[in-house]
Amino acid sequence: MKKEVSEWKSEIKEVSLKDAVKVFFEECDYNIGDWSETEENLDYFINDFKEINNEEEKLLREEVKKEFDKKVNKYKQEELAHLKNKSSILKWIKSIIGIEAGDPGYMLNAEEILDLILENGQK
């Protein structure tokens, strides 16, 4: 007679700093718009390590922050690329306008709104 048996095995393994950073961004929640929220999740991630000294923890935090900053910069560059000229800005404004009757901008088209933003932006 045979029966399928699943066994769960746990062991402590050495993890490189590079791999730990990679695992954090692959498996943990992080908020690209909020470092403090990401840092909270990093605290939980670090608590999962069975053996980590203060220096290793400091290095891990620094490397995660560097990678986080790279990701933020990448996303900012992508956003800037989408808003690089008047036509791309108009396209974006048209996509986000959800104005109802009586709201400011209800009677204005996207180009008129952009012109007002440019005209009144420094007032």
DSSP symbol at 120: H
Token readout for 42 is 């990093």
**By C-alpha distance, which of 30, 107, 88 is closest to 64?**
30
Please report which confidence band the pLDDT of residue 46 belongs to, taking 50, 70 and 90 as the band edges. very high
Over the stretch 90-107, which tens digit does the pLDDT of each residue have?
Answer: 888 777 777 777 777 677
Whole-number Å distance between alpha carbons of 18 and 15:
8
Give the chain's mean pLDDT.
87
Whole-number Å distance between alpha carbons of 74 and 67:
11
Helix (H/G/I), strand (E/B), else coil: 118: helix
Q: Where are the domains of the chain?
A: 17-82, 86-120
**By C-alpha distance, which of 43, 51, 44 is closest to 13?**
51
Question: Is the pLDDT score of 60 beyond 80?
Answer: yes
Over the stretch 8-22, which tens digit does the pLDDT of each residue have?
Answer: 888 888 899 999 999
